[in-house]
A and B are shown apart, each in its own frame.
Chain A
């Protein structure tokens, strides 16, 4: 409860907390089953990062997640949250400290948006005014008008609004850790993209430690600071940044799982602004030459796609004010892929160092 106490002192506007999560040789066996559901799982999620658990059916993604807040009893190993074993904690108290978002959301249909979001603060016995202020703040954070929305029932919300309220409810008591089980799995593709972007924007502000389960590798690449790829039987196939996983898949399983188009996916991780663009004065690159202009925030993948549909001609890259930054050519793409491939595959120790570029390379 130490971490929670500090947040209380900082008042309702605090999103102060994020804690490191460490899994140590975690295993789960169900009675009467020969094979373990989770073998011997160890990895660490640094405070404030998003770790995506991804893998095929039966790889134990959800089971792993539910072991963390003790919804499923653990069979072996230990899980530490902020350096403290979750096994020593009272499960109810632990869960009140961990945000929990599931695919079906599970909003209480008989309670208003306000009451739903206030659930955990009320369980924790916060005073009324503080709960009310907190709900207000969270509704603004998720871009729902508090006056209009707080007295609505879940049945009166759209699917996307429900999902956002679900996230707000999980954030209510400023938990140091959020567990999200396929939170956008039941949403149509267009709204899913929007919700993903919104969540990444939200995460920029609240900087929670997040464990995010999905079966969609594209979502994993987009959302994760790190990705843990699990295979059948809850075995960790690779735990790395999205870029490393795409560039250096640990084995055939990972390579197959991320897909044959992993080169393209990698391109999606880099923006034009991160490239060393061709100097415009080397060639005629004025605004008048009819070359396609693309903003500097465009991902290399999208830029390549535009270039290919423009007969492979170089693109003019411009900044926000329309000033020419340089030229984007096919050669740059080859260069980028070659550089990535040449970089030494990082050992266990270098994963830490890779964390930074990964987060900045994420298209938001």
Chain B
């Protein structure tokens, strides 16, 4: 446990290492990580949400939408980053491209599944009441798909934060991964301290997204879920 005490000292010093001047502060690295990740997630959202929702609305391209998720999962972050490094050199742009490649699949797949899975009778009812395609999507399909859509977004955000730190292993500088990849300068206590920060950051991001998800999930849907979780009311339903 000695290492952990040292690690917390490192965090308390904001990343300063006695005897090694000129290292960036831990707060700055954390903010950098957050910035790189946020850009990646934002670009992915812009690409993936409309695509997945549109495919789901048309109930088309299930093969593409589902398999893109499977293949995406098979891509190791390190490999995507390393190949980017080998062919283009690992600047911020290339890292963002790698992040988007990894984050788009889970969002597309879950957006597709969410919208595709909306009860057809409800969509039929919406159209019967004279809603346009856009109104059907925005008022019926998207709200009902919100839980699954957010599952995809949370998974993507996780991939992105994780990959941003791994980018340091491929030579990208500008995230908390720098500390973990540089044990020579930071010693193990610094590596551990940075790891703690990364874990905390990921949990915070996930928690924040979970809160947004709760906010955006229609209340009726949450009640229904809770009712389902509680199960049947009585053992023997009256005849």
A contact set with B: CB distance below 8 Å: 28, 30, 37, 53, 55, 57-64, 66, 71-72, 213, 215, 230
Contacts and interface: CB of A to CB of B under 8 A. Distances in A.
Interface string B205-239: 00000000000000000000000000000111111
Contact of B238 (A53, A62, A71): A62
A72 B239 contact: no
Contacts of B239: 53, 55, 57-64, 213, 215, 230
A28 B237 CA distance: 13
A130 B234 CA distance: 40
A66 B236 contact: yes
Given A37-B238, A59-B238, 11 more contacts: A30-B234, A30-B235, A30-B236, A53-B239, A57-B239, A58-B239, A60-B238, A62-B237, A62-B239, A66-B236, A215-B239
Contact of B236 (A37, A57, A213, A215): A37
Q: How large is the interface on B (under 10, 10 to 19, 20 to 34, 35 or more residues)?
A: under 10
A181 to B, nearest CB: 8
Nearest to A182: B239
A316 B29 CA distance: 103
Top 4 A-B pairs ranked by shortest CB distance?
A61-B239, A62-B239, A58-B238, A72-B236
29 contacts: A28-B236, A30-B234, A30-B235, A30-B236, A37-B236, A37-B238, A53-B239, A55-B239, A57-B238, A57-B239, A58-B238, A59-B238, A59-B239, A60-B238, A60-B239, A61-B239, A62-B236, A62-B237, A62-B239, A63-B236, A63-B238, A63-B239, A64-B239, A66-B236, A71-B236, A72-B235, A72-B236, A213-B239, A215-B239
Instruction: Please report whether the interface of chain B is mostly helix, strand, loop or mixed according to DSSP.
Output: loop
Interface of B: 234-239
A37 B74 CA distance: 56
Contacts of A30: 234-236
A53 B239 CA distance: 10
Nearest to B234: A30
A230 B238 CA distance: 12
A183 to B, nearest CB: 14
A63 B235 CA distance: 10
A213 B237 CA distance: 14
The interface centre, meaning the residue of B235, B236, B238, B239 with most chain A CB atoms within 10 A of its CB, is B239
A66 B237 CA distance: 10
Contacts of A57: 238-239
A355 B171 CA distance: 92
A71 B235 CA distance: 10
A58 B236 CA distance: 11
B206 to A, nearest CB: 37
A64 B238 CA distance: 10
A216 to B, nearest CB: 12
Contacts of A37: 236, 238
A102 B234 CA distance: 18
Contacts of B234: 30
A55 B239 CA distance: 8
Nearest to A215: B239
Contacts of A66: 236
A314 B239 CA distance: 45
Nearest to B238: A58
Nearest to A233: B238
A66 B235 CA distance: 11
Q: Which of B234, B235, B236, B237 has the most CB of A within 10 A?
A: B236
A230 B235 CA distance: 20
A53 B238 CA distance: 13
Nearest to B235: A72
A152 B176 CA distance: 60
A71 B234 CA distance: 13
A58 B234 CA distance: 13
A61 B239 CA distance: 5
B78 to A, nearest CB: 41
A350 to B, nearest CB: 29
A291 B137 CA distance: 68
B72 to A, nearest CB: 32
Nearest to A30: B234
Nearest to A181: B239
Nearest to A56: B239
A233 to B, nearest CB: 10
